[in-house]
Amino acid sequence: MNCKEAEELISALIDDELSDLERSSIEGHLRDCPRCRRAYQWERALNREIRMVGASVVAPVDLRQRVLSDQRTTRKEGKYSNGASKLILHLQPFLRPAFASALLVILLLSIIFLMQRPSQPISLAALQSRAKIDKGEIPLQKATNTDELHDWLRRAVDGKFGPMGYDFSPLGVRPIGGTVQEVEGRQILVAVFGGNGLSITCFTFLGTEEDAPKNATVFFDPETKIQFYSFSRNGINAVLHREDNTICILTSNMPPEDLLSLVRISSPHKHRHGSTA
Ligand SMILES: [Zn+2]
């Protein structure tokens, strides 16, 4: 299930209107997708507030009595004043403090939600294209040799930047191909590797650590002084880190801990500082 499909089902989930299959499918998505999970939590909180408001606008006894006596008097006084008194009765609930404070809560919730909602950062876009690559929806420039693939990618952006020199051959993971994508005006080099039941896709682009999703888990490696940002989506795990002005995101089907140690161990940065491979 993708985010668009999930968004369409969130209201039905809250209203308990889904089939078992739909329910387990969206619950799976909510587990993996923090953005949809927030949307779900927000809508559920909003629903609760709306129900509270509904309960608080039930008119108190004295108001009801006034309404009834008012109707009686207006009937006596004639039909013209009837409209005006009805209008006041309709407005009455809005003037009540409980209603006003519930409205304020709704407003605040909306503002907090809007502030938290990430503006689809480039790293999430990378994970989306990874899913498309896995489905074969994005054509790749085939490669059998890592150096050749990296040279091709570097030339594709006129040598402005290039993939970090990862070599996964000790894991039996070999280069498959590459492509260049553009997200919000930025070029992303994509290098795809696979083998031994593992698949690794590397995304390289010019950026800053601000490009990491806000909900990523951050790991600091005291040895290399590099911060690693770990995040996941739809069963694909990712680790982002920065070297100078270049951002590298490795995505893989391997568990997050394994991916993190792979990135740290095989970091080309480490090699430059003379550590053994
Ligand atoms: Zn989602």
pLDDT digits (tens, 9 = 90+) for 15-53: 888 999 999 999 999 999 988 988 888 888 777 766 665
Q: Name residues whose C-beta falls within 8 Å of residue 233's C-beta, 6 or more positions apart in sequence.
A: 32, 33, 124, 127
Q: What is the pTM of this model?
A: 0.56
Instruction: Please tell me the distance between residue 236's alpha carbon and the centre of ligand 1 in angstroms.
Output: 13
pLDDT band of residue 77 (cuts 50, 70, 90) is very low
What is the reported pLDDT for 190? 96
Instruction: Please tell me the distance between residue 120's alpha carbon and the centre of ligand 1 in angstroms.
Output: 11
Instruction: Please tell me the distance between residue 33's alpha carbon and the centre of ligand 1 in angstroms.
Output: 5
In sequence order, what are the beta bridge partners of 193?
Answer: 175, 200
Instruction: Please tell me the distance between residue 164's alpha carbon and the centre of ligand 1 in angstroms.
Output: 30
Per residue in 95-133, pLDDT tens?
556 666 666 676 666 665 555 444 557 888 888 889 999
Phi, psi of 231 (to 5 degrees): -150, 165
Indicate if the pLDDT at residue 81 is higher than 60: no
Report, as an integer, the average pLDDT of 77-97.
Answer: 49
In sequence order, what are the beta bridge partners of 176?
Answer: none
Instruction: Give the CA angle between residues 115, 118, 121 to the nearest 5°.
Output: 150
The amino acid at 121: P
